[in-house]
Amino acid sequence: MKEIERIKNDLVIANRILAREDVADAYGHVSARNPDDPRTFFISRSLAPELVTAVDIVELDLDGNPVGSESRPLYLERFIHGGIYEARPDVMAVVHAHAEDVLPFGIANGTRLRPVIHSGSFIGAHIPVWDIADRFGDTNLLVSSVEQGRDLARALADHNVALMRGHGFAAASRSLIEVVRMSVYLPRNARALRGARLLGGDIRSLSPGEIEARDREAYGPYSTATWRAWEYWANKCGCGDLLSRPQGKG
């Protein structure tokens, strides 16, 4: 399989995993930067992630315009992806979704979201909360322009995840498999932290050194540990037969 075809194929798996793992519902989207042209990225046309197949993947430039001719409706919030790719050359994949258990951390200011379980380490020590109202006032809360996408990207800065007040989150990573893993463990870490609050007492978060130690490990997309999760989730959502690896990563 050619690398571009393989990435589109992996985007289908990613969409289906996010739906199956309750990260996305009718809404939410995942994209991957074009490895051959950093100024474009691949993402589904406007469609619920559960229903995405390879023919639904379109190529957009960083302003959210289709690269080829494309008459099908696009995601309104494609500017989230363009804004982050523009600001962060290191980022190769982006997820935006509304995973339910993450939402309270963008609404209440009593508990800061941070990693408390090892699988949550990848969300990073600091998770900014972006409020669209700070700069744009009363809106429909959707990131519907290049300007708003850039503002969100500024709030994300060099972090891995930004919460979006009253709306959801944006996650960015150096690979598609890693951004999916981060998006699945983000709500799980949120539930563990909420549970810890319910039990009362002091809460022990991961230390900065622990977060760094995990980042230093080889948890790349084709490491034994990461592939185990990708393979599991792909099978769970009915995409086991779509699994593939790039040449030399077998």
**Structure-block tokens of residue 110:** 């009593």
For position 125 contacting a copy of itself by CB under 8 A, the verdict is no
Q: What's the min distance (Å) between Cβ of 126 and a copy of itself? A: 17
77 is catalytic: yes
For position 217 contacting a copy of itself by CB under 8 A, the verdict is yes
List 56, 61, 63, 101, residue binding a copy of itself (CB under 8 A): 101
Nearer to a copy of itself, 4 or 25 (CB): 25
Number of residues that bind a copy of itself (CB under 8 A): 71
List 68, 200, 248, 250, residue binding a copy of itself (CB under 8 A): 200
CA distances from 250 to 104, 168, 222, 243 (A): 40, 35, 8, 11
Q: What's the min distance (Å) between Cβ of 206 and a copy of itself? A: 6
Q: Which of residues 178-197 bind a copy of itself (CB under 8 A)?
A: 188, 191-197
128's CB contacts (< 8 A; 6+ apart) are 155, 156, 157, 159, 162, 163
CA distances from 215 to 112, 157, 187, 202, 230 (A): 21, 18, 19, 26, 18
1's CB contacts (< 8 A; 6+ apart) are 9, 244
**Structure-block tokens of residue 186:** 């983000």
Task: Check the CA dihedral 150-155-156-157 and report its sign.
Answer: positive
For position 108 contacting a copy of itself by CB under 8 A, the verdict is yes
List 58, 153, 156, 206, residue binding a copy of itself (CB under 8 A): 206
C-alpha angle with apex 63: 185 to 179, nearest 5 degrees? 15
Marked catalytic residue, from 5, 21, 70, 77: 77
Are 60 and 132 in contact by the 8 Å Cβ rule? The answer is no
For position 84 contacting a copy of itself by CB under 8 A, the verdict is no
Nearer to a copy of itself, 82 or 106 (CB): 106
Q: Which of residues 12-31 bind a copy of itself (CB under 8 A)?
A: 25-27
For position 140 contacting a copy of itself by CB under 8 A, the verdict is yes
| Residues identified as active-site | 77
